[in-house]
């Protein structure tokens, strides 16, 4: 309401002035170089208005002419931004599909449209790695090394190129220098540690990874295994991870060696449901056994811990109790637990244990097997499915680390052990995350 009132008042005042000017035009005389110009006040205002309007038009057209280069650049920039945005979409799709040709083509377009050296060269570098073109990889790596902001990425890229080219010794030397330069960098220390692991130099592998202030969760299983393999503190290894059967076995041995049988039994009880590996019970029942009394004591501890879950757990628990009973020379109990396993689920471990029981006592006869016996389960690599008769830290088939697992266990995979296989197939994953700067 107030705005309407103000507008009405302004219109009213302007109207009054125009009416008054029309009724009282007056006379205006201007002497200009012996010329007498006569007009009225209204004419003077009209001349003034026309002059201002003409000047405005001249200024407008001159501005338009002057801004032609700027408008051209602005329109071209807008066009390039649209094309760059389209190229980024294509790059995302190419990365997902592993299409190195399209990745290279759109990376070059991105460099052209945005005049960007850092990101476009980074993508071109990865495109060459994906298609295993080491010549182009070296070329783009040199460009990255010449860009100050890309120095850290170039260092990582150097390691990737060396490993892709199977120059492991050179990669190791470079990583040693980089680890000395930055004692907190996890990526360099982890990769150097894994190179030493592949050489089975457990102590060096452990020591370089230990330099990092904090071990991330995906490397805790790996680090715990290294502690055991390098002869470090067993309890410290167990504190890092109890997901490794090897670590659990060595921890049981440690407590038995310290005459802490109950603590060893607690380790069995705490981890059995996840591990479900007969080797754990074998270690508990056989390691540094002293006499029959010691065997019977261990059997009672196993029985107390496992009997309460025997009906709700897998056949591995029944087999474990049967083995413990056999070691304690309680043949009937051993037979009872084996008979609880359905015959169509018997494997050669069950058959062999049943035969050993029947050899110990004439009262127990080895039954006629109506079904085919299943093969004995073997350790299996999560990466390539290669099988092993015993646990291995390094898969000799695919060079993965910490991926050989017991197939019956319920342990979830939190490791980052597929080092060389995934590292060389997907190098982009192993370069640093790009951080946005304000």
pLDDT, tens digit, for every residue of 73-125?
777 778 878 888 888 888 878 777 778 788 888 888 888 888 888 888 888 88
What is the separation of C-alpha 263 from the centre of its chain, rounded to a whole number of angstroms? 36
What pLDDT does residue 24 have?
63
What pLDDT does residue 431 have?
45
Torsion of CA 144, 149, 153, 154, to 10 degrees: 30
Taking the C-alpha atoms of residue 63 and residue 69, their distance in angstroms, rounded to an integer, is: 11
What pLDDT does residue 438 have?
39
Q: What is the DSSP string of 218-243?
A: GGHHHHHHHHHHTT--HHHHHHH-S-
Residue 276 · residue 263 · CB < 8 Å: no
Please tell me the pTM assigned to this model. 0.75
Using alpha carbons, select from 202, 203, 194, 200 the residue that is nearest to residue 175.
194
What is the CB-side half-sphere exposure of residue 189 using CA atoms within 13 A? 21
What pLDDT does residue 50 have?
76
User: Helical H runs in 328-385?
Assistant: 331-339, 348-360
Taking the C-alpha atoms of residue 104 and residue 253, their distance in angstroms, rounded to an integer, is: 56
Residue segments in the chain with a per-residue pLDDT below the cut of 50: 417-426, 428-438
Using alpha carbons, select from 425, 433, 400, 428 the residue that is nearest to residue 164.
425
Residue 17 burial (10 A CB sphere; 0-12, 13-18, 19+):
exposed
What is the separation of C-alpha 130 from the centre of its chain, rounded to a whole number of angstroms? 18
Coil, strand or helix at 113: helix
Using alpha carbons, select from 286, 245, 288 the residue that is nearest to residue 267.
245
Question: In the structure encoding, which two tokens stand for residue 106, read together?
Answer: 């759109």
**28 Cβ partners below 8 Å, 6+ apart?**
38, 39, 40, 41, 43, 44
The 10 Å Cβ neighbour count of residue 90 is: 18
Q: Give me the numbers of helices (H) and strands (E) for the chain, helices first please.
A: 20, 5
Which CA distances in Å does 24 have to 46, 48, 171?
15, 18, 98
What pLDDT does residue 7 have?
72
Taking the C-alpha atoms of residue 275 and residue 408, their distance in angstroms, rounded to an integer, is: 7
What pLDDT does residue 258 have?
94
What pLDDT does residue 103 have?
81
What pLDDT does residue 429 have?
47
């Amino acid at each position: 309401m107030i705005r309407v009132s103000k507008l009405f008042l302004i219109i009213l005042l302007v109207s009054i002035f125009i009416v008054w000017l029309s009724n009282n035009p007056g006379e205006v005389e201007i002497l200009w170089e012996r010329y007498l110009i006569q007009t009225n006040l209204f004419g003077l205002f009209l001349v003034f208005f026309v002059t201002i309007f003409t000047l405005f038009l001249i200024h407008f057209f001159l501005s338009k002419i002057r801004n032609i280069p700027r408008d051209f650049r602005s329109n071209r920039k807008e066009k390039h931004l649209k094309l760059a945005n389209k190229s980024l979409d294509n790059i995302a799709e190419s990365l997902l599909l592993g299409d190195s040709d399209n990745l290279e083509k759109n990376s070059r377009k991105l460099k052209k449209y945005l005049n960007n050296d850092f990101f476009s060269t980074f993508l071109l570098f990865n495109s060459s790695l994906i298609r295993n073109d080491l010549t182009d990889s070296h070329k783009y790596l040199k460009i990255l090394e010449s860009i100050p902001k890309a120095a850290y990425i170039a260092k990582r890229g150097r390691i990737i190129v060396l490993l892709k080219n199977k120059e492991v010794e050179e990669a190791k030397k470079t990583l040693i220098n980089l680890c000395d330069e930055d004692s907190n960098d996890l990526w360099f220390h982890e990769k150097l540690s894994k190179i030493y692991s592949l050489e089975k130099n457990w102590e060096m592998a452990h020591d370089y990874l230990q330099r990092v202030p904090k071990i991330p969760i995906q490397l805790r299983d790996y680090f715990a295994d290294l502690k055991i393999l390098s002869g470090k503190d067993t309890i410290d290894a167990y504190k890092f991870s109890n997901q490794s059967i090897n670590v659990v076995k060595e921890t049981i041995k440690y407590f038995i060696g310290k005459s802490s049988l109950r603590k060893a039994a607690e380790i069995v009880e705490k981890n059995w449901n996840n591990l479900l590996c007969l080797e754990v019970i074998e270690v508990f029942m056989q390691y540094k056994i002293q006499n029959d009394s010691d065997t019977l004591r261990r059997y009672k501890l196993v029985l107390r811990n496992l009997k309460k879950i025997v009906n709700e757990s897998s056949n591995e628990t029944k087999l474990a109790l049967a083995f413990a009973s056999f070691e304690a020379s309680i043949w009937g109990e051993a037979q009872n637990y084996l008979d609880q396993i359905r015959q169509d689920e018997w494997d050669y471990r069950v058959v062999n244990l049943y035969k050993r029981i029947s050899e110990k006592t004439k009262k127990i006869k080895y039954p006629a097997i109506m079904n085919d016996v299943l093969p004995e389960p073997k350790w299996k690599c999560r990466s390539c499915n290669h099988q092993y008769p015993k646990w291995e830290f390094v898969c000799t088939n695919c060079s993965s680390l910490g991926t050989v697992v017991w197939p019956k266990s319920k342990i979830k995979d939190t490791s980052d052990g597929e080092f060389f296989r995934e590292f060389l197939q997907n190098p982009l994953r192993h370069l640093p995350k790009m951080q946005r700067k304000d």
